[in-house]
Every structure is written in structure tokens, then in C-alpha cells.
Amino acid sequence: MLDKVNSIDYSSESNNINLSSTVKASLNSTGNAEISANNIDSSKIISVVKKFTNDYNKAVNFLEDNSSK
């Protein structure tokens, strides 16, 4: 099977395509793909999202505090 996802060509002997080391697509039919993600450390994702939120809030507060200067 040969397919293109986000302008990247993929080939496989079966209907399964590895999009990355942790994401596999099982192509069931035209226009329908089941995506599964394995080995994802959700604690790292949560940590990064919390850090992003904290940094974003700091930036917003800084802009609000200094917008009239």
C-alpha cells in the first residue's frame, strides 16, 4: 500500500502505516483511518501544558502591567 499523509509518502505491505515511532495508522477503507498512539508519557504532556499555561499567564500579566507605560 502506498499513501500520502501531510505531503509525506508512506508505503506498507499491509493496511498499517507507522507515522512515527509512537503513532500508527490502520487504514480500513477509503477516507477512514483509525489512529492509535502508543508509548506516550501523559505526565510529560501535562507538565509541558502546565508550564506553557504558566508562562502564557506571566506574559499576559506583564503586558497588562506595562501597557500604559
Residue with cell 502508543: 38
Structural domain spans, the chain: 1-38, 40-69
The 10s digit of each residue's pLDDT in 2-39 is: 566 667 776 667 777 777 777 777 777 777 656 666 77
30 or 43: which leads in pLDDT: 43
Q: Residues, the chain, total?
A: 69
CA distances for 8 relative to 32, 51, 56, angstroms: 18, 32, 33
Average pLDDT over residues 35-47: 78
Interatomic CA distance for residues 24 and 36, integer angstroms: 6
